[in-house]
Chain A
Amino acid sequence: MNQPLIQVNQLTKSFLVNRQTLTAVRNVCFSIESGQTLGLVGESGCGKSTLGRILLRLYEPDNGNIIFRGEEITHFSGKKLKEMRRHMQMIFQDPFASLNPRMTVEAIISEPLIVNGRGGTREQKKACAELLDLVNLPQNALGRFPHEFSGGQRQRIGIARALALHPELIIYDEPISALDVSIQAQIVNLLLSLQRELKLTYLFIAHDLAMVKVLSNRVAVMYLGEFVEIGDVDELYAHPSHPYTQILLSSIPCHDPIEERKRPPVILHGEPPSPLNPPKGCIFCTRCPKATNACWEQKPELKKIGRDHFAACLF
């Protein structure tokens, strides 16, 4: 077994909203081995993005620790934090909002190099050209501005910028959900080939379970700030154990109408409860079709149910 590149223990983060405490991430533990991908799925507002941002230390966690490359980085600051962040990059969801419209592509891609004082102007220019090749953009893109590119191309610019400092871990926050189907496939293939070539480690946040399956080695399912299930991708998709995972999987439409009619989706009633006021017992008990009285009172812990497969359900 490889040493995990990043390990997270008991991570908790709350925000104050109108003088009420909103716990966005509660007691989350996981690790990602070098060169692997962890897929993180969940509905909007369940805390996936917050978790990704805590890893980068864009938010301060309230509790718990983060161990990255064998060092505890939870309380890094100043120079050490900057040095650490070089190895960790993030790709954001909206390729239209995450690139500065007034900067040329060259300025965007070389900004991390300038900030970190890497090389002289000539070397930076050369690095930019190489990065464009890596993400399959034409060389004449360097002098152009973001508005001249389509969504998929902009996402490639964002990826080139993230790769500029040769990071080890890249956090993708829904990188493809704003793109069209035919473009999504292009970006997913690019991510797969970059991972192979550059031995990158990914945390891939998404809500599309089918995409996550293609990219990930392990998958974590998040609901209302907690992990309800985590495990090896094939194991988890073949034998989903938590009722929420089962319902999520059944809600993915397959493209075969005949099979589709045979397999009517389980319709989950209601909506996630407010994270300001989560249920006391199992967080899923308000919508779970299998919930019993015990679920409302007792909080289930993540427990091992197979080789590299953990779920938080009393049953």
Chain B
Amino acid sequence: MAKILDVQNLTVSFSIHGQQLHAVRGASFDLYEGESIGIVGESGCGKSVAVQSLTRLIPSPPSLIQAGRVIYRGIDLLQTSFKCLRSIRGREIGMIFQDPMTSLNPTMKIGSQILEGPLYHSIFNRQEARLRAIELLHLVGIPEPELRFSQFPHQLSGGMRQRVMIAIALAAKPLILIADEPTTALDPTIQVQILALLKDLQQRLNMSLILISHDIGSIARVCDRIFVMYAGKIVENGSAAEVLNSPSHPYTQKLLGALPTLKSAHGEPLCTILGSPPSLFDTIAGCSFAPRCPLAMPICSQKPPPFLSRAACWLHSKTSEENQ
């Protein structure tokens, strides 16, 4: 399988009141054709900024992409012209945003919102447009699609609206679908429905999927590979089974330990990570997790750790030196 997207050392900052806020500090990840990857991290770790920067959706200023390359089918999306970007956004790279309540236009009917993109990209012609929109609504499992076509967003429930968002993203048959926390605002039983739908559509339409979530559980359900993000950097990556069953970075280990499972007993205290993530305004000399890491060594707060085997951690570089 060929690599469809290669993100290298993506660095994005915002300038706020003259201060630099480092949202993404050199994140690298890649995506193959027909693959689904998950980016997991806590709020404020830069996952949304990272994926929105891929197609330069964040207005600049205030944001500034300071470094990095986003190679999509031989084109560097960070360098290319806006004209070229416009032909990719929504057409080849589709996006589903987190909040289905606010990302639909309340004054437009569902049908016209679905058709806005495809008509712009001239994918549908006007005669068949209505039919195609109804087909899409049907594809994402909305009952009575003909009725829904001419309804407004407020007449739909949260789960339904998220399905409409998926329909909009799929309208142009994108090669890559980016879903930014698609289930966070929904109830558990509806979350299961939406995740199953995403997985099913990804396989049926042979798309590549990037799923962003803070919930490792929902990522485990859908993704082949997982990237763990902390303070703007990818600290660990690997296949879903590797990352979840034998986490390599101390942050991932702690994060998994902090989650209660159905097996945990009543009254049993959870493992916690002391402290809170670093301020985004600080510049970090060493490993960003060092102040909270139980296994931190002196070198951890001095030099950034190299990315070895699966994780960016000095512990692994030490063991690999010993092995040599």
Contact = CB atoms under 8 A, between A and B. Distances in A.
Interface of A: 43-44, 150, 152, 180-186, 188-189, 192-193, 207, 209-211, 213-217, 233-234, 237, 247-249, 251-258, 260, 265, 267-269, 271
Given A180-B214, A255-B244, A255-B259, 11 more contacts: A43-B187, A181-B259, A182-B42, A186-B273, A213-B260, A214-B266, A214-B267, A214-B268, A216-B266, A255-B217, A268-B192
B188 A182 contact: no
A248 to B, nearest CB: 6
Contacts of A183: 276
A150 B44 CA distance: 12
A12 B258 CA distance: 38
27 contacts: A43-B189, A44-B187, A181-B214, A181-B215, A181-B216, A181-B258, A182-B255, A182-B272, A183-B276, A188-B269, A189-B269, A214-B267, A214-B270, A215-B267, A216-B266, A234-B266, A247-B189, A248-B189, A251-B192, A252-B217, A253-B217, A253-B218, A253-B221, A255-B244, A255-B256, A257-B244, A271-B159
Nearest to A244: B189
Contacts of B198: none
A257 B241 contact: yes
Nearest to A219: B266
A189 B272 contact: yes
Interface string B169-207: 000000000000000000111111100100000000000
A188 B220 CA distance: 24
B261 interface: yes
Contacts of A43: 187-190
A185 B270 contact: yes
B290 interface: no
B272 A256 contact: no
A253 B220 CA distance: 8
A254 B217 contact: yes
Contacts of A44: 187
A189 B271 CA distance: 9
Contacts of B262: 209-210, 213, 237, 249, 252, 254
Contacts of A234: 266
B4 to A, nearest CB: 23
Contacts of A271: 157, 159-160, 190
B264 interface: yes
Contacts, number: 126
A47 to B, nearest CB: 14
Contacts of B221: 253, 260, 265
Given A181-B259, A213-B266, A268-B189, A255 B220 contact: yes
Given A180-B42, A182-B258, A217-B266, A152 B276 contact: yes
Nearest to A217: B266
A235 B188 CA distance: 22
B67 to A, nearest CB: 27
B281 to A, nearest CB: 14
Given A180-B43, A180-B214, A271-B190, A257 B240 contact: yes
B241 A210 contact: no
B49 to A, nearest CB: 16
B254 interface: yes
A183 B43 CA distance: 11
A247 B256 CA distance: 24
Best-surrounded residue of A182, A237, A252 (most CB of chain B within 10 A): A182
A265 B218 CA distance: 11
B127 interface: no
Interface in B23-73: 42-43
Given A247-B189, A257-B241, A260-B221, A210 B261 contact: yes
Nearest to A189: B269
Contacts of B102: none
B245 interface: yes
Would you list the 4 A-B pairs with minimal beta carbon distance, nearest first?
A253-B217, A185-B258, A185-B270, A43-B187
B244 A210 contact: no
Nearest to B273: A182
Nearest to A252: B262
A268 B193 contact: yes
Contacts of A181: 42, 214-216, 255, 258-259
A252 B193 contact: no
Given A180-B42, A253-B220, A207 B268 contact: no
Contacts of A152: 276
B216 to A, nearest CB: 6
Contacts of B190: 43, 271
Contacts of B244: 255-257
A180 B240 CA distance: 21
Given A152-B276, A210-B262, A258 B196 contact: no
A217 B266 CA distance: 7
Contacts of A217: 266
